[in-house]
Amino acid sequence: MRAGSQVSAIVNQELASAIFSLEATIVSVAGGKAVVQPTARRIFGDNDEPYEYEAISDVRLLSLVWNSSKSGISGEVKAGDSCLLIAISHSDAQEPDHKTLSACAAITGFNDMATHTMPDSVGIRIYHVAANITLDDNNITVDNGGGAKLVLDGGGITLDAPAGFTVNANTQINGNVGIAGDMTTTAGAGGGSGRAAFASDVQINGTSAAVDHVSNGISGSGHKHKENGDGGGTTDAPQ
């Protein structure tokens, strides 16, 4: 055999024994690492019987992380989830391991069976069961799957909250406010009744009802005034 053929045979043998990636299934997860079972089987050149790989322990779970691990995307990984095992060449200051299952990591999310499959109808979607966040050109939608929904579309924002919308903060609104429904004030921060103060005119198209109306310091409910005519006395308070 010529030297070139010998080298070629050695290279082919090494490549045949090397492993680059395998489809696999998560068996268990603990301490940030997983036990992973390759689902692929392999046939070697000198043996037609398929070889089933054994489960691999201490497999690192890779995720998307940036900014010195301060930013990223993570999620729950459970037994039965599909993943992609990739062999990684490490160096022990002697020589690399030539890509075998002695050093590998798992990329989770390697699955084409999903609630929202690729390609999707939006630019980016992050979802968990019924809850999802979608980002598209000129539109961001946050939907919790339980009826509450926030839509930022163009220059407008729409909020749906069938069970109520609570804001625990002092609020400043610059612009007109329209209310299609009732407005009620409750007890203030000091425990007293809530107050509504207006720095401009108030127009009421309807009946204004109150325990008392005070105008320029004069009580409407307790006001007395001089009688007209010959009596010259003082009227009783309004009843």
| pTM of structure | 0.69
pLDDT means per 10 residues in the chain (239 residues)?
54 53 92 89 65 86 90 91 83 54 80 79 91 96 97 97 92 92 76 76 87 78 64 58
Look at residue 159 in the predicted model and tell me its pLDDT. Answer: 97
| Predicted pLDDT at 73 | 87
Q: Would you say residue 182 lies in a domain? A: no
Within-domain flag for 230: no
Same domain, 52 and 96: yes
Instruction: Show which of 155, 171, 187 is a domain's final residue.
Output: 171
Of the three residues 67, 89, 108, the one that is the final residue of a domain is 108
- Same domain as 99, residue 14: yes
| Residue 158 belongs to a domain | yes
Q: 157 and 118 in one domain?
A: yes
Asked if residue 193 is part of any domain, the answer here is no
Q: Please state the domain count of the chain.
A: 2
Q: Which of 123, 138, 171 is the last residue of a domain?
A: 171
Q: What is the pLDDT of residue 11?
A: 46
124: domain range? 113-171
pLDDT at residue 27, as a whole number = 96
* pLDDT value, residue 17: 53
Q: Are residues 9 and 102 in the same domain?
A: yes
* Residues 60, 120 within the same domain: no
Same domain, 131 and 77: no
Report the C-alpha gap between 40 and 106 in whole angstroms: 14
Residue 239 lies inside a defined structural domain of this protein: no
